[in-house]
Structure 1
């Protein structure tokens, strides 16, 4: 992906984040930096370094190895922010619908900078996106990245975001979970638990912290069990995602999204906007995949 030119990521990611903050400020957009270069030092890996002049040993935070700038935008401000990005020569690569089944982030690029993931919600947080943003926005504070003041959520929210990101990828042994949860004090864990309850993220948090069975009756129990255990069965994941939806309309929409070809990704792969025949072929491929998955599921049941 042609997202940056000869710039080390350790410099490029904070610079992209600072650029996004300036654009947001100018456009009157509420935006919070999450993950990556914005993470509080207390949640980073620590290493001991020796001062060559004095021989003194001190602890230093190790920057995260991020490849993009992640921001969470107030959902009602997303269209305004997208217009501002385009005005500054950023280009959308993937729509929300082209990403994960959560449809939570859109990917943007600009020559000379690393790419940006613009989030309108965060997987694992079940509360209405605008209300969830209000909760996170309320306890924001400022840090400096690339010389620019940037807004980030409270450390408790940062802990929760890192944990949710890790469990979604099935990485229960993630260093992020270790530092954000296992190494946290009882008071810090209680703060994260309370925030998760407010944000409707308690099931996802429980999946990351060994307490998922306390939520067996939750509609998203199967989803987070499947994600947290790294289950690669597409059929199981489809069923889990549909079951997790709050109403029948959302369930139908999710089922359609899981099967439908991702137009943005198809265009990226082809190098041009797909024509009717190419879209039809993509649909055929998706239906073939569904048939194979269902066939495998049936064969598995018969063998039992």
Structure 2
């Protein structure tokens, strides 16, 4: 379609058609996927001013290569890869001139078990929705509540999202949600969304989620990623990658492929910034203060492992 025609399509209609198109492509290559986030979420869990901007799908890991090839054949291009998309390396972003952006998730940040096992757990309890009249699968409402909460933690809390989602669930649904959190090993991120992260200070993912949910420097983010690495090989690889320039991000910033001199300049900026952050953090620790980007830790509940029931005592989750 011409750019003029695309601009006339209402954003909501464009998103709906894009979801349906991705669903058709996935069915043709036999890749199972769950539509997540956005307007595919149950309205009871969404905020009053929610506006979707792109398509998000969680894809079974085994089906990603075939779906990737099919998307490219249908005019989609890779905007950012798994490796460079985020600290969690969880999604690959595609762009289509007619249909906009697509985030293809191989995992959901905060879920600790293997990607293939996590997908099967969510797929087994899936529900049905429709995109432009086409049947498609979405997570159960319990899983949607959990995923929204984990996403809120990664987005720095997203206001009162976690508390609002918790309040929208009745007692049986809350128990089911916590059971799913346990089954998927998602307790650290779930606690971060509810201001209870300090209870998990002993976990290897703690620093990563502290930075994701409360803010921090680039150096702290990379330290968190290294500590969260599951194997020694993963951690060594992350250490070696930390000073490297994200050329995909630099390309988007410049609007063109960066020249070697620009990459070298960005590398020097990154390394000097990292050195300053480390020096400042060490000096701050020596003086006994909080490192830049760190916030004071929220008070953790002494015994109750579940988010506070706001409806019963008016406290914050």
Please tell me the TM-score bracket, short chain as reference: 0.7 to 0.9
Q: What are the residue-to-residue correspondences of 1:55-134 with 2, within 5 Å?
A: 64-134=50-120
**How much does 1:288 deviate?**
1.6
Report the equivalent of 2:139. 153
1:21 to 20, 23, 26: 23
**How much does 1:302 deviate?**
4.1
Q: What are the residue-to-residue correspondences of 1:236-255 with 2, within 5 Å?
A: 236-255=220-239
Distance in 2 (CA, whole Å) between partners of 1:258 and 1:152 is 35
Q: Does 1:221 align with 2:223?
A: no
Q: Over the residues paired in the alignment, what is the CA RMSD in angstroms?
A: 2.0
**How much does 1:5 deviate?**
2.9
The alignment of Structure 1 onto Structure 2 pairs a total of residues equal to 284
Q: What are the residue-to-residue correspondences of 1:284-299 with 2, within 5 Å?
A: 284-299=268-283
Indicate conservation of the 8 Å contact 1:5/1:112, yes or no: no
Q: Does 1:177 align with 2:142?
A: no
Distance in 2 (CA, whole Å) between partners of 1:227 and 1:269 is 22
Listed as ranges, the gaps of 5+ residues in structure 2 are: 289-317
Q: Does 1:263 align with 2:247?
A: yes
1:25-83 Cα deviation digits (max 9, x unpaired): 1111111100001101221346xxxxxxxxxxxxxxx7x30110111111121111110
Listed as ranges, the gaps of 5+ residues in structure 1 are: 47-61
2:180 to 189, 195, 199: 195
1:263-294 Cα deviation digits (max 9, x unpaired): 22223333443344333233222212211211
Distance in 2 (CA, whole Å) between partners of 1:184 and 1:258 is 41
1:78-120 Cα deviation digits (max 9, x unpaired): 1111100011111111111221111111111112212111111
TM-score normalised per structure 2: 0.83
Report the 3-state secondary structure (helix = DSSP H, G, I; strand = E; otherwise coil) of the residue aligned with 1:246.
coil
After alignment, is 247-256 or 131-140 more displaced? Answer: 247-256
1:11 to 6, 10, 13: 13
Distance in 2 (CA, whole Å) between partners of 1:5 and 1:110 is 14
Indicate conservation of the 8 Å contact 1:34/1:71, yes or no: yes
Indicate conservation of the 8 Å contact 2:87/2:221, yes or no: no
Report the 3-state secondary structure (helix = DSSP H, G, I; strand = E; otherwise coil) of the residue aligned with 1:149.
strand
Distance in 2 (CA, whole Å) between partners of 1:138 and 1:150 is 14
**How much does 1:172 deviate?**
5.8
1:125-154 Cα deviation digits (max 9, x unpaired): 111111111111111121112121111111
Distance in 1 (CA, whole Å) between partners of 2:235 and 2:32 is 30
